Structure 1
Amino acid sequence: VLNHHLRDVWVLGVSEVPEEFHPRFWARSKTYRYYLVNEGFDLERVLECARLFEGTHDFSAFARLEPGRDPVREVSSLRVLPRNGYYVIEVTGKSFLWEMVRRIVNALRFCGLGLLEPEEIREMLSGKYRKKVPPAPPENLVLWHIEYPGIKFKTDDRGLAKAKRDLFERYSRALTRAALFGDCLVEL
């Protein structure tokens, strides 16, 4: 019923939780996916830069910082999954700063286009930077999965089917728009 009324949010499962449960603070890990149109990237360079983000680093250059929040975060995994005409960038960690995933994606994009060198990424992750990487557009970012210790969700098949339809429709529009306006080198 909720999925019928929601836009850009999908309920994919349900579970009973303890009364003290808080969805933000109980998360063991979160996985975000970003659907990035292939602009003719050098995949080896993208993969080289992606490896640099794994581990614990100062993400000041890759986030919109909030006063009092520690910019040091751990990215437990960052995967680049090539698809036909696009990449799925999958980033997993315990917690993220504002715009962190979108700025990481844009850094990977810049690396793949030869606009940013791996050594520059290393320096930025050590806290040394003069400029920040701007965030990639928000439309192709999806909070894909949250892992909660000891809590299992029963999947709602109709909600999952709706999410797949909605994501496919959204991504198809983005690909078509990019091809029409020359934003990428994808053949449709």
Structure 2
Amino acid sequence: MSEQAASSMRDDHVVLGKLTSPYGVKGWLKVYSHTSPMDGILDYPEWVIRQGGALTRHRLLQGRRHGKGLVALLEGIDSRESAERAAGAEILLPKTELPELGGGEYYWHQLEGLTVVTREGVVLGRVAYLFETGANDVLVVRGDPQGEPPAIDDRERLLPFLPDEVIVGVDLAGGTLSVDWDPDF
């Protein structure tokens, strides 16, 4: 796959989860979900599966919670052998199929890559990724003094995603996230 095709695929899809391992002998697979709630991934009737650079579409035939995780049965995967071949594949969804969010709500993929700027105009870096904690989501911001725009330093900062406290503005069109944060912290 060309670099341009791979980049386009990353831009057009969001990763919802992963097929981890076979479950039983009839093609069921264990599923690791990135959605919140975890079983929200089962609300999507068709999954795009990416394995080894190849994309295939599969209709979700059945899915349910199983223990602390999820299991799913996909159209075209009907034996343990075919489930073994699918294990390790990523579950993608075209971004155009994501539900619309209300004002002030964002998908993580929308925040990744935004330039983080303090109220005083100091560039801290870009949002590399986010993760969940028990209390709130956390932005991982990586500084790059040679970046565009250049950051104040090359530190990695963990900023809590607390709207109206730490996060004072999100401009998706402008590519910036404004924060109330001390650069020395």
Instruction: Sort the TM-score into its range (normalised by shorter chain).
Output: under 0.3
**Greater helix fraction, Structure 1 or Structure 2:** 1
Which of structures 1 and 2 has the bigger CA Rg? 2
Relative to its length, the structure with more strand (as a share) is 2
TM norm structure 2: 0.25
**Higher RCO (Cα < 8 Å, 6 or more apart):** 1
TM-score (norm 1): 0.25
